[in-house]
Chains A and B, each alone.
Chain A
Amino acid sequence: QKEVEQDPGPLSVPEGAIVSLNCTYSNSAFQYFMWYRQYSRKGPELLMYTYSSGNKEDGRFTAQVDKSSKYISLFIRDSQPSDSATYLCAMGAKGGSSNTGKLIFGQGTTLQVKP
């Protein structure tokens, strides 16, 4: 079983829809949660960064973390065709003085927003 599970999709929605992307994880040591957007043949772009549980909002994007359920979500409001990309969740554990900062990624969900 992978440490981080993410449905690869593809997910297809009409323009203007609310998109919900999710990841589950098994390692209770994860405390840092990120969402990246990756366009085809490009590097990942950091969208959201959250620490521990709770919500964080940035424009049309909202990230939610539920550590008790080991479940994180990314919501995109008023989705646009330009949001069509692969969305990667990533997680990290703080290891005290030996904290590496390495990220464990999900497989990525491919999103298509149709005009």
Chain B
Amino acid sequence: DTGVSQDPRHKITKRGQNVTFRCDPISEHNRLYWYRQTLGQGPEFLTYFQNEAQLEKSRLLSDRFSAERPKGSFSTLEIQRTEQGDSAMYLCASSLTGLAGAFGEQYFGPGTRLTVT
């Protein structure tokens, strides 16, 4: 299967600990997105990368959150000093978007479910 993969699938951590999630996009896709989804809600945009450049961050992404995409391949999302309010499903998506600005179809991974106790 060459879809989007995420690791780990589930993470339980104690408040105040740091956590890191990984996303591997579809290989030829140049854009990578992170979204957060809480129970009963739709996903909310956090940030996105065009190749290795992080081009936009949502106001939802506090200073405790950092994301990287070295070499324009896989991406990591780190949350420092986790809080109970960080408990959510963290979704990664990727798309192939041309320079003409066409809106590429976004394909999602299975998500990482974070539980902060």
Listed in ascending order, the chain A residues whose CB lies under 8 Å from chain B are 4, 6, 8, 31-32, 34, 36, 41-46, 49, 51, 88, 90, 92, 94-97, 99-108
Can you name 26 A-B residue pairings with CB atoms under 8 Å? A4-B42, A36-B108, A41-B111, A42-B110, A42-B111, A43-B4, A43-B6, A43-B111, A44-B91, A45-B108, A49-B105, A51-B103, A88-B42, A90-B42, A94-B103, A95-B101, A97-B101, A99-B103, A101-B48, A101-B103, A101-B106, A102-B48, A103-B43, A103-B106, A107-B41, A108-B42
Indicate if B82 sits at the interface (CB-CB under 8 A): no
User: What range describes how many residues of B lie at the interface?
Assistant: 20 to 34
User: Cβ of A100: which chain B residues have Cβ within 8 Å of it?
Assistant: 48, 55-56
Nearest to B47 among chain A residues (CB) is A102
How far is B110's CA from A44's CA once the two chains are assembled, in angstroms?
Answer: 8
How far is B89's CA from A106's CA once the two chains are assembled, in angstroms?
Answer: 16
Tell whether, in the assembled complex, residue A105 and residue B43 are in contact, meaning their CB atoms are under 8 Å apart. Answer: yes
Digit string of B1-31 for contact with A (CB within 8 Å is 1, else 0)?
A: 0001010000000000000000000000001
Nearest to A106 among chain B residues (CB) is B42
**B85 CB, nearest partner CB in chain A, Å:** 19
How far is B78's CA from A26's CA once the two chains are assembled, in angstroms?
Answer: 33
Q: When A31-B103, A32-B103, A103-B106 are in contact, do A108 and B41 touch as well, CB less than 8 Å?
A: yes
How far is B109's CA from A41's CA once the two chains are assembled, in angstroms?
Answer: 12
How far is B106's CA from A42's CA once the two chains are assembled, in angstroms?
Answer: 15
Q: When A42-B111, A43-B109 are in contact, do A94 and B33 touch as well, CB less than 8 Å?
A: no
Tell whether, in the assembled complex, residue B41 and residue A46 are in contact, meaning their CB atoms are under 8 Å apart. Answer: no
Indicate if B69 sits at the interface (CB-CB under 8 A): no
User: Cβ of B109: which chain A residues have Cβ within 8 Å of it?
Assistant: 43
Tell whether, in the assembled complex, residue B103 and residue A92 are in contact, meaning their CB atoms are under 8 Å apart. Answer: yes
How far is B56's CA from A46's CA once the two chains are assembled, in angstroms?
Answer: 23
